[in-house]
Amino acid sequence: MNNDKSAIQVIAGAARCPEYSPSMVKALMKKLETNEKAFALLMNVTPSTVRLWTTGAARPCGMARRLMQIYETGPEVISKIAGEGVSEERRPPSG
C-alpha cells in the first residue's frame, strides 16, 4: 500500500494550483490581452470579483485558480472554449 500512497501523493503534488497573487492575476490578464470585463467573462465571475483579485481584497477560490492555471498553461484553450477553430465535422449539431 505504500506504493499506492506515494502515487497518490505524487499526483496530488502535481495537481496543486499556484496561489494567484494580485500581480499574477494582472500578469495573466496581460498575457491573455484581456481587460477586467473580458477576464470576468472567461472566469465566469463578475468584473467586481476580478477587481477584488487584482487589488488583493479577495483571493481566487480553488476552481478559479485551476481555471487560471489552465489558461496560463495553454491560452489556446480559450479559443476552443469559445468555439473557434473547431472544424465543422467536430462541431456538435445545432438544435
pLDDT, mean of each 10-residue run, the chain (95 residues): 61 76 97 95 96 98 92 84 55 53
- Give the CATH H-level superfamily of domain 2-82: lambda repressor-like DNA-binding domains (1.10.260.40)
Question: What is the per-residue pLDDT for 88?
Answer: 46
The answer to whether 63 touches 57, Cβ cutoff 8 Å, is no
| Distance in angstroms (rounded) separating the CA atoms of residues 34 and 5 | 41
| Distance in angstroms (rounded) separating the CA atoms of residues 9 and 46 | 35
Q: Return the C-alpha cell found at 9.
A: 501523493
- What angle (nearest 5°) sits at the alpha carbon of residue 24, between those of residues 30 and 15? 115
Question: Which helix or strand (DSSP H or E) is residue 8 part of?
Answer: helix 2-14
> pTM of the predicted model, to two decimals?
0.70
